[in-house]
Homo-oligomer: A and B are copies of this chain.
Amino acid sequence: MFLPKEVKFFDLFDKQAENIVRAAAFYKKLVDNGDFTPENVREMHELEHYGDELTHTTINTLNETFITPFDREDILALANRLDDIVDGIYLISNRFHLYKIQKPTEFSRKLAATIESTTKALQKALASLRSNKNMKETLHQCVEINRLENEGDVLRDEAISSLFENEKDPLMVIKHKELYELAELVTDSCEHVANLVESILVKNN
């Protein structure tokens, strides 16, 4: 259905999605094991850097290609919004390290699981974009991402509420409140991509 040059964009989005899923899985492992060592944060930084490279490749490809599978500005927005996700996962990993959190809370573990599920749904949504025949599947994954973002919202609210209820050390409140909010922002940035994907579908069908 698409020309070879157009296919390149889908290949790049798949690579970006794969990198995001890898970062989310690695993040979940670090939260579960309380393992935000300098080495592991550096490894996460490499994933973030690889995401940057993929974004630049997409933008350069865009500037060299006349025919694109959908609007140029949508491809640009998609590349940039996908980049936000790994940026967010790296940012929160680095904060866990800076704040010397040895034992992430139960809420942080739940939020990490929600982030991982959201990135997997996002990967499916992007993979299905290659063909109009998959439209139902794409929309289904977008709905799932919205549901998971909502789950992240509720989790963050419960976590913050519990924090002010139970944690008496103000410095710990500052640290964990920020970590909960940064975690929810990751699911938020996945939802931004899902909204973009939906609007691309609407325009092109």
Chain A residues in contact with chain B, CB under 8 A?
59-60, 63, 94, 98-100, 157, 160-161, 164, 170-171, 173-175, 177, 199, 202-203
Contacts and interface: CB of A to CB of B under 8 A. Distances in A.
A60 B202 contact: yes
Please state the number of chain copies in the assembly. Answer: 3
Contacts of A59: 199, 202
Given A63-B202, A173-B171, A164 B94 contact: no
A112 to B, nearest CB: 21
A192 to B, nearest CB: 11
Nearest to A62: B202
A59, A60, A98, A202: which has the most chain B beta carbons within 10 Å? A98
Nearest to A199: B59
A171, A173, A199, A203: which has the most chain B beta carbons within 10 Å? A171
Contacts of A161: 98
